[in-house]
Each structure stands twice: as C-alpha cells, then as structure tokens.
C-alpha cells in the first residue's frame, strides 16, 4: 500500500503538471476509439502494452477476458459494452487474452475450482473453448493452455456478436472486432487473421496498416 501512496504523490507532483492541459480536457468528457477487453491479471497493463494515453481506451477487465453472451439479465460487462458501443461510439473492440492465464487453467480443470464456486460459474462462459480443444485432441490438459487461451478469445468474439448494440454496428460497418493474445515473457502480440483463420504476429496480421503508416515490417 505504501508504494501506491508514494506513486500517487509522484503522479501529482511530477506527472500531472506536465500533462495538466490534457487532463483538464479529459475532465469534461471522453471520446475513446477502442473498447479494450482483457484479463484482470495483474501482469497486464493495457496502456503500457498499446502505448496509449488516458482517454484513448475504454477498458473492461475480468477473470479470463470474458464476454457473457447477451441475455435479459443485466451484468457489468453487458452494460459496459452497450455504453462503449452505443453511447461512446467506439470503432474497434479488442478482446485480449494472454499467456499463462490462471483463468484458462481453471477452465481446463474445473474440478480444481470447487473452493471458488463463483469463479467456477464465471468460467462456464469459457467452456466451449475448452471443448473445442478437447475435441481436437481427444483429451485436454495443461499442455493445451495456449491453445485454449486462443480459442477463448475467439469464443468471446462470438459472444460479442450476440449483443444488440454490437450486432447493429457490425451490420453497418461502424465497428470492427479484433482478437489478440499477449505473450508476457516475449512482449509479442498475436492477432487473429479472419481471412486465414489463424493467429499471427501483429506485424503480419496488420501488415496493411503498417504499410499505410510507413512502418517497416
């Protein structure tokens, strides 16, 4: 806790003064272009990973970067997605999973979660990802962690499409969906290529964008 308090003091004394104008502008509203859905894992820092500034990302975090399918029961994720898409008008939605995900370990072995009943129930939203990998190999264990993490990202993208606000904007071409996997050890990000139906390193998956901005790949 001491580190947090010292961090706030450093922010107020050293960081804020140099960005005061930007923060005063943000005090009157936000206009993010991206809804960034990722895991609550403490090792994930969306701002650092994407090198964005306050106000650039509308961030939703939970165990397993889960997007529950739309239902008539309102939840925090459902409300946040609706607000980001219908009220803020974001143009892109990123679902970002990551390496060594504890939630995915739980999804692989639900029996290990008997003492965490709410976590077990929550990760029911990941069950189809587990079953896809199990069907592919005939069994499933911890060696399939990375594969389950990727399938889970794809599953949550499917769930996103069931949300009315997202479906409407997808139909009009006003929103694009992106599936990412962040490797904590290497810093690499793999992105799902819809055309090739596979995850690729970011510079390959978004080569057209790199070319447009004159970035060598």
144 is in an annotated binding site: no
Distance CA 133, CA 217 (A): 32
Q: Is 96 annotated as a binding residue?
A: no
* Nearest alpha carbon to residue 191 among 199, 183, 154, 157: 199
Structure tokens at 151: 């399938």
Residue 94's closest CA among 56, 42, 148, 145? Answer: 56
Q: Is 41 among the annotated ligand-binding positions?
A: yes
d(CA 176, CA 35): 10
Name the token pair of 29.
């509203």
> Is 141 a known ligand-binding residue?
no
Which residues fall in the annotated binding site? Answer: 39, 41, 98, 101
Which residues fall in the annotated binding site for Zn(2+)? Answer: 39, 41, 98, 101
């Amino acid at each position: 806790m001491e580190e947090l308090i010292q961090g706030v003091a450093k922010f107020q004394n050293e960081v804020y003064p140099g960005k005061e104008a930007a923060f005063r502008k943000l005090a009157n509203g936000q206009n993010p272009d991206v809804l960034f859905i990722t895991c609550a894992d403490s090792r994930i820092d969306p701002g650092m990973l994407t090198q964005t500034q306050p106000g650039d990302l509308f961030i939703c975090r939970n165990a397993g970067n889960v997007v529950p399918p739309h239902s008539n029961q309102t939840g925090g994720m459902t409300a946040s997605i609706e607000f980001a898409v219908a009220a803020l008008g974001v143009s892109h939605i990123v679902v970002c999973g990551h390496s060594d995900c504890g939630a995915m370990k739980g999804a692989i072995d639900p029996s290990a979660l008997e003492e965490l009943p709410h976590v077990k129930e929550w990760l029911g939203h990941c069950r189809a990802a587990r079953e896809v990998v199990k069907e592919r190999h005939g069994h499933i264990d911890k060696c399939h962690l990375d594969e389950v993490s990727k399938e889970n990202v794809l599953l949550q993208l499917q769930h996103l499409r069931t949300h009315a606000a997202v479906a409407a904007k997808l139909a009009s071409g006003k929103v694009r969906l992106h599936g990412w996997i962040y490797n904590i050890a290497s810093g690499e990000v793999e992105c799902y290529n819809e055309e090739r139906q596979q995850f690729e390193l970011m510079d390959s998956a978004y080569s057209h964008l790199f070319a447009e901005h004159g970035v060598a790949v």
